[in-house]
Amino acid sequence: MRAFGRRRAGNAALAAAVLGAGALVVAVAIAALAGADVMAPYLVALLCWATIPIGALGMLITYQLIGGAWGLVLGDVAAAASRTLPLIALLVLPIFIFQADLYPWHRPEVMAEARVAAKAGYLDATFFTIRGVGYLIVWVGLGVLLAWGEGALVRRPRLRAIAAIGAILYVLSVTFAAVDWAMSLEPKFASSAYGWIFLTDALIAGLAFSICAVALLGRDAEGRNPFGEGETRVLSGALLGCILFWTYIVFMQYLVIWSGDLPDSVAWYQARVGGGWTPVVWAIGLLHAALPFLVLLSPRARANWRILTALAAVVLAMRFVHIVWLVLPAFGEQGWIQVPLAVCALIGIGGLWLGLFLWTLPASRDRVMVGAERLRHG
Amino acid sequence: MADERSVNPQAPTETLPLQPYGSVSDQIAMIPLHYPLRRRWLIGLAASALFTLLLVVAIGYLFYAGVGIWGINSPVFWGLAIANYVWWIGLGNAGTLISALLLLLSQQWRNSLNRFAEAMTLFAVFCAAMFPIIHLGRPWFFYWLLPYPNVMALWPQFRSPLVWDVFANVIYLLVSIIFFYIGLIPDLATVRDKARGRLGQVFFGVLSLGWRGSAAHWQRWRRTYRICAALAVPLVVSVHSGVAMLFSVGQLAGWQTTIFPPYFVMGAMFSGFGVVAMIAVVLRHTFRLDSLVTTRHLDLLAKVLLASGLITSYGYIMDAFTAWYSGDPFERSTLIDRFTGAYAWSYWSAVILNFVVLQGLWFEAVRRNPVLLFLIGASVTTGMWFERYMLVVTTLYHDFLPSSWGWYVATFWDWSLLAGTIGLFFFLFFLFVRFLPMISMFEVKEVLREERVEARNARSQ
């Protein structure tokens, strides 16, 4: 019924990028006029969008290691998303440059506290930047090795070896990126599961985004299913498994901190309930954990690609909400101005990112081909 | 039948070498019916019975004299008993994961391993379940942990992981038994049909619940089996998270850390896969089951072992990093105690035996070598015991007040409980090997069938 042609993809890419750049300009203008801080919403928006390509890279690594038909269906989209990692690297640079505005450990009065001072060697401007550049090199490098060229969807021993070593580097870099860029916003908070939660967030984001993208772009001229029934079941199972694991680990962190009842950890949760955040917590619990779990329990729902796509879209949206909830409260009460700023930043970075993603999607002659259609056409 | 036998046994296959279905049944079902190694079996059974006797004596003396016969005292009130408990229950977890999780993930290679892995689970959980009860001091009051109605309106503390553990472990044991038994039924029927003696016919006849292998039987069986598997997987996670919570709900440095639940689950899986690898190598060698447990099985087991070991090492890294990063002086001093304190030997033994030796599995030649795989499995199993010991003791012996610091030295009775439960485990395993089909015949045949179809398709192309 609708063929997402090469030219249309190019136009959409350009439109998204222009919109994104415009939104970022608007965000800076609002911030300048209102005298508000633009870096906080920028960081939040960047982390939200960055989870998608980071998670997609994780999917490519997993695919090289264990294989499976799902990789052929989602591989094109995951590879295209991974190819956008250089843009993410570019967008992270302002974080390094303006880190003093973002991270409280740059302020002497915060550093004066014994527990924060004890890690001054780690929370150090130069070391922070060096580590950050290191993570970016790992991601961009793995993206180049696994997602560029013809090799993305082929499992080869050489790529598998890269993926095995890459998996270790990947897990450690994502973990410490989460610690550096998000957890250290509250320098007294330390949770050993934090990195793992962020990693799971990223993998779910990559998976949910890939499912949505293939469902939107992957239907051929006859409007046939983007996924076969068997693949739908596998993808539903994967989504269900990821959601269960995420819920488990998020709840375990909460349970341990609640039981321990230690001030520094509890303060972290206290900043994230009450005020406007209580409904957000409920929304995350209901829409990101309960809803997909209950729906995907049914084998018939698991075999239905429309249900899968709808759930993936909900999960992807809640992914953003979760990361906003994770990061934004660290900046304390900042007033209503945060709302338009955050929206502009999300549209801004999202537009730039989606533009590059659409531009880098694989095409043959005049058609974008992803998912099952690519399988059918070889 | 002629066609089946004419299939070239040398044809390249995925998991199993092609072989007639009948040979699978003959190889496995004949072991309980005409046991080949009676003398060696008797010697092994007797030796393990001796250690089981030691367990009986150790428990008997414990009940007579009290927990003072152990090395525990202020401040280390948890000693070997808790370390052993965590170790055993961890070993047990892998059997369920191999069997249930890999079933749900449609990983066919599990079919040669699941039966003895599940048996291992049952016996390990049985050994584990003993420790919390004998550790109580007054074990005859163990039922106080259950929420039963009573005239004094006393209830257990539902916020305590001790109570969660009771629920998790009892349910886990029940589901493991049911899962194991349901998986056995079709094979019990095969043994019944092959049995010549009246005793064997009645024994296996009763156990196989009148299984005839009709389509309706298979359809219901498959559904039940999958439901049990789907129940078992979250139970494994809950059991070991509950164990982790025993440590991490408190405020003690070295225990109060959020990664403990998933880290314990992974560590459990890791240690259990080590045991499964060892059992696979030994059974394969003893009963010449090379055509059923192939080098490819060993290779896959080794890969899972390597992967779960690497994830467990992630737990070590994050645990240590966060202890340092918290900036908390007590967390940091516990960390330094683990590295250099009086019990540093347990930390470094765990690190070396778990993770350094493990790196050999990066090489295919090591993964496919039964002797090396066995040694690495043994190293992991021992290393994980050191880890349990380290976690229990290093936190407790130095707590917040230097005036209350103390030592822990395990006594003869501590060690005899460990040796005794190992003896009991072997005792039960010897009985299992002797009387039940140790590999799932019908599931192996299912794999064979699929490979045969594939081979036929490949030939016709």
Per-residue pLDDT at A3 exceeds 70: no
Per-residue pLDDT at A149 exceeds 70: no
Cα–Cα distance, B198 to B125 (Å, whole number):
33
Q: Of A168, A248, A260, which is closest to B256 when you measure between CB atoms?
A: A260
List the single residue in B with minimal CA-CA distance to A245.
Answer: B262
Tokens 């090396």: give the residue: B372
Q: Which residues of chain B carry a pLDDT beneath 50?
A: 1-13
What is the model's pLDDT at position B143? 85
List the single residue in A with minimal CA-CA distance to B257.
Answer: A192
Q: Cβ B257–A256 below 8 Å, yes or no?
A: yes
Q: Cβ B262–A175 below 8 Å, yes or no?
A: no
Q: Nearest C-alpha of chain B: how many angstroms from A54? A: 19
% chain A with pLDDT above 90:
47
Mutation for B interface: A162, A172, A252, most B CBs within 10 A:
A252
Q: Cβ A256–B258 below 8 Å, yes or no?
A: yes
Q: Nearest C-alpha of chain B: how many angstroms from A98? A: 23
Q: Nearest C-alpha of chain B: how many angstroms from A44? A: 23
More confident residue, A77 or A134: A134
Q: Which residues of B touch A122 (CB under 8 A)?
A: 325
For residue range B278-288, what is the model confidence (pLDDT) as tens digits?
A: 999 998 888 88
Contact with chain A for residue B402, Cβ under 8 A: no
For residue range A270-318, what is the model confidence (pLDDT) as tens digits?
A: 989 887 889 999 999 999 999 999 999 888 888 888 899 999 999 999 9
For residues A112, A115, A118 and A119, what is the CA-based torsion angle, rounded to 10 degrees? -100
Q: Cβ A115–B328 below 8 Å, yes or no?
A: yes
What is the model's pLDDT at position A229? 78
List the single residue in A with minimal CA-CA distance to B327.
Answer: A115
Q: Cβ B318–A196 below 8 Å, yes or no?
A: yes
Per-residue pLDDT at A174 exceeds 60: yes
Cα–Cα distance, A360 to B147 (Å, whole number):
61
Q: Cβ A252–B241 below 8 Å, yes or no?
A: yes
Contact with chain A for residue B47, Cβ under 8 A: no
3-state secondary structure of A154: coil
- A3: CB partners within 8 A, 6+ apart: A220, A221, A367
Under a CB-based contact definition with an 8 Å cutoff, are residues A373 and A226 in contact? yes
Kindly report the pTM of this predicted structure. Answer: 0.90
List the single residue in B with minimal CA-CA distance to A237.
Answer: B105
* ipTM score of complex: 0.91
Where along chain B do its domains lie?
17-453
Under a CB-based contact definition with an 8 Å cutoff, are residues A141 and A57 in contact? no
Under a CB-based contact definition with an 8 Å cutoff, are residues A87 and A136 in contact? no
Cα–Cα distance, A309 to B281 (Å, whole number):
45
- A151: CB partners within 8 A, 6+ apart: A159
Q: Which residues of B touch A255 (CB under 8 A)?
A: 245, 249, 261
Per-residue pLDDT at A66 exceeds 60: yes
Angle (deg, nearest 10), helices A229-260 and A194-217: 160
Q: Which residues of A touch B260 (CB under 8 A)?
A: 192, 256
Q: How confident is the model at residue A1 (pLDDT cuts 50, 70, 90)?
A: very low
Q: Cβ A192–B241 below 8 Å, yes or no?
A: no
Cα–Cα distance, B118 to B96 (Å, whole number):
6
Q: Which two tokens stand for residue A302?
A: 């698991």
Reference B161, options B145, B175, B173; nearest CA is B145
Mutation for A interface: B105, B318, B395, most A CBs within 10 A:
B318
Q: What angle do CA B177, B182, B187 make, to 5 degrees?
A: 120
Contact with chain A for residue B257, Cβ under 8 A: yes
List the single residue in A with minimal CA-CA distance to B241.
Answer: A252
Q: Which residues of B touch A179 (CB under 8 A)?
A: 325
What is the model's pLDDT at position A152? 58
List the single residue in A with minimal CA-CA distance to B106.
Answer: A234
Reference A193, options B411, B301, B241, B36; nearest CA is B241
Peptide bond into B261 cis (omega under 30): no
Contact with chain A for residue B245, Cβ under 8 A: yes
- B195: CB partners within 8 A, 6+ apart: B33, B201, B203, B204
More confident residue, A154 or A374: A154
List the single residue in B with minimal CA-CA distance to A196.
Answer: B259
Q: Cβ B245–A114 below 8 Å, yes or no?
A: no
Cα–Cα distance, B326 to A28 (Å, whole number):
35
What is the model's pLDDT at position A376? 58
Q: Cβ A256–B260 below 8 Å, yes or no?
A: yes
Under a CB-based contact definition with an 8 Å cutoff, are residues B413 and B51 in contact? no
Cα–Cα distance, A231 to A233 (Å, whole number):
5
Per-residue pLDDT at A183 exceeds 90: yes
What is the model's pLDDT at position A286? 93
* CA terminus-to-terminus distance, chain A: 21
Q: Which residues of B touch A120 (CB under 8 A)?
A: none
Q: Which residues of A touch B258 (CB under 8 A)?
A: 191-194, 252-253, 256-257
What is the model's pLDDT at position A151? 54
Looking only at the bridges linking them, the beta strands covering A363-364 and A367-368 are: antiparallel
Question: Taking the mean position of all CA atoms in its chain, how far away is CA A175?
Answer: 13
Cα–Cα distance, B259 to A173 (Å, whole number):
17
Q: Of A171, A190, A252, which is closest to B322 when you measure between CB atoms?
A: A190
Q: Nearest C-alpha of chain A: how many angstroms from B371? A: 25
Contact with chain A for residue B332, Cβ under 8 A: yes
**Long-range contacts of the stretch B102-109 (C-beta < 8 A, 24+):** B103/B225, B103/B226, B103/B229, B104/B226, B104/B229, B104/B230, B104/B233, B108/B14, B108/B15, B108/B446, B108/B447, B108/B450, B109/B15, B109/B296, B109/B297, B109/B300, B109/B447
Tokens 């970022």: give the residue: A24
Q: Which residues of A touch B400 (CB under 8 A)?
A: none
Mutation for B interface: A113, A235, A256, A258, most B CBs within 10 A:
A256
- B353: CB partners within 8 A, 6+ apart: B379, B380, B382, B383, B386
Instruction: Give the number of A-B residue pairs with CB atoms closer than 8 Å.
Output: 86
Per-residue pLDDT at A126 exceeds 90: yes
Q: Which residues of A touch B319 (CB under 8 A)?
A: 192
Q: Tell me the residues of chain B between 206 and 225 that have a Cβ less than 8 Å away from chain A.
A: none
What is the model's pLDDT at position A371? 61
Q: Which residues of B touch A192 (CB under 8 A)?
A: 257-260, 318-319, 321-322
Q: Cβ A116–B327 below 8 Å, yes or no?
A: yes
% chain A with pLDDT above 70:
90
Tokens 């080098």: give the residue: B295
Q: Cβ A192–B321 below 8 Å, yes or no?
A: yes
Other Cβ atoms within 10 Å of B338 Cβ, number = 24
Cα–Cα distance, B305 to B294 (Å, whole number):
17
CATH among 1.10.3720.10, 3.40.50.2300, 3.20.20.10, 1.20.1630.10 for B17-453: 1.20.1630.10
